[in-house]
Structure 1
Amino acid sequence: MKFGHTIAYVQDVKASLAFFERAFGLKTSFLDEVAGYGELDTGSTALAFASHALMADLLPGGYVTDHESARPLGVEIGSP
């Protein structure tokens, strides 16, 4: 099995990509500003970002954004 990607749902995809570029030296491999989706070049596993607006369109039943949750979300992204 190969782990393909992780997607973080964010308010501003372009700003999130820029932060990870500055903080970790990663490069953007794909950005669709209109759709609100982008990916970083992290090797064989993609670290992607999708906007809350895109997810609202794709998931009409809704989902809970990080800032709406009263409790921490069960996810952590790290590197060795």
Structure 2
Amino acid sequence: MIKFAYTILYVQDVTKTIKFYENAFGFSSKFMSPENDYAELLVGETTLSFVSISLAESNLKDGFIESKLMNKP
């Protein structure tokens, strides 16, 4: 059986995002990197993780297109 286990969201501020999800949805923090640029939340069987845009840019050699309200997908 296939099970959805992991999602990564790229965000501007990992710490603020984690605090929002904890307060809004009652999730618990599972892990936060010492640099505060990567974190994971406990959300049941799925790991919800957040990566800073700057860390993503350094790890994705071909880059990516950041989602913004002013830009169409």
TM over 0.5: yes
The number of residues matched between the two structures is: 72
Q: TM-score, normalised on structure 2?
A: 0.87
The runs of 5 or more residues in structure 1 that have no matched partner are 73-80
Q: Does the Cα contact within 8 Å between 1:14 and 1:33 map onto a contact in 2?
A: no
Counterparts of 1:1-80 in structure 2 under 5 Å?
1-34=2-35, 36-67=37-68, 70-72=71-73
CA shift, 1:31, in A, is 0.6
Distance 1:23 1:46 in 2: 17
Higher alpha-carbon deviation: 33-42 or 2-11: 33-42
Q: Which runs of 4+ in 1 moved over 2 A?
A: none
Q: Does the Cα contact within 8 Å between 2:15 and 2:36 map onto a contact in 1?
A: no
**In proportion to residue count, which structure has more strand?**
2
Percent identity between the two aligned chains: 38
Q: CA RMSD in A?
A: 1.8
Distance 1:22 1:67 in 2: 24
Q: TM-score, normalised on structure 1?
A: 0.80
Aligned partner letter, 2:26: G
